[in-house]
Homo-oligomer: A and B are copies of this chain.
Amino acid sequence: PPRREVLFFPSQVTCTEALLQAQRQGGPPGAAPAPAATGPEVRKSPGPAAGAAGSGAATTAPAAAAETAPSCLCPLPHGESSLSRLLQYVLSARSSLELCLFAFSNPQLGRAVHLLHQQGVRVRVVTDCDYMALNGSQIGRLRKAGIQVRHDQGAGYMHHKFAIVDKKMLITGSLNWTTQAIQNNRENVLIVEDEEYVRLFLEEFERIWEEFNPV
């Protein structure tokens, strides 16, 4: 069945080394598949005051990560979290990844995108010039690695926050890809495998890609 999931943030802070490690060793194709599709799911935010309502799912499902990283000794929890789910969906790219992000500064997601590029996935990034200039942005680093990046020319913000994986999975919501937002804000991210939605967002990406063409 097509994947449908909602991730809520803030995310618990979990160790994501195992996911990046597995990707580095395995790489496409085959390794590090997207999280299994088990019907509509939700990743609840543990939230600053969520208590009983929000903390269940994130703290009781360490199986997947433990399998791939039995050896990590860092002090962080090694279970799943909204961030680790998001990372897994991004890392599932095998041929193409379009990113249309107002802000992109989270190092784990930056490393994931860098890895995919190194492994031959065609990565294209569209971002907002105002945020790009800020300290901590991953954009400069991705550019140096040879990834194509285009940004707007000034009027209005490029305020989207979506990604398209292999032209078949849409990741979209309120979340900017910053550690501040991931760890502190109330945010949502939808993961949708739906031809129509993917097509419409891909068309929007291509319109922006052309509009931001510097030549």
Contacts and interface: CB of A to CB of B under 8 A. Distances in A.
Interface stretch (A72-80, A91-99, A116-124, A181-189): A181-189
Contacts of A188: 160, 162, 172, 201, 204
Interface string A170-182: 0011110000010
Contact of A196 (B40, B152, B162, B208): B40
Interface string A57-70: 00000000000000
Question: What's the dominant secondary structure at chain A's contact region?
Answer: mixed
A159 B172 contact: no
Interface residues of A, number: 44
Interface stretch (A17-25, A27-35, A44-52, A137-145): A44-52
Q: Which 7 A-B pairs have the closest CB atoms?
A: A156-B184, A40-B196, A159-B185, A157-B185, A158-B186, A156-B185, A42-B200
Contacts of A197: 4, 6, 40, 190
Given A53-B210, A157-B185, A159-B186, 4 more contacts: A53-B203, A160-B187, A172-B190, A188-B201
Contacts of A196: 4, 40
A173 B159 CA distance: 10
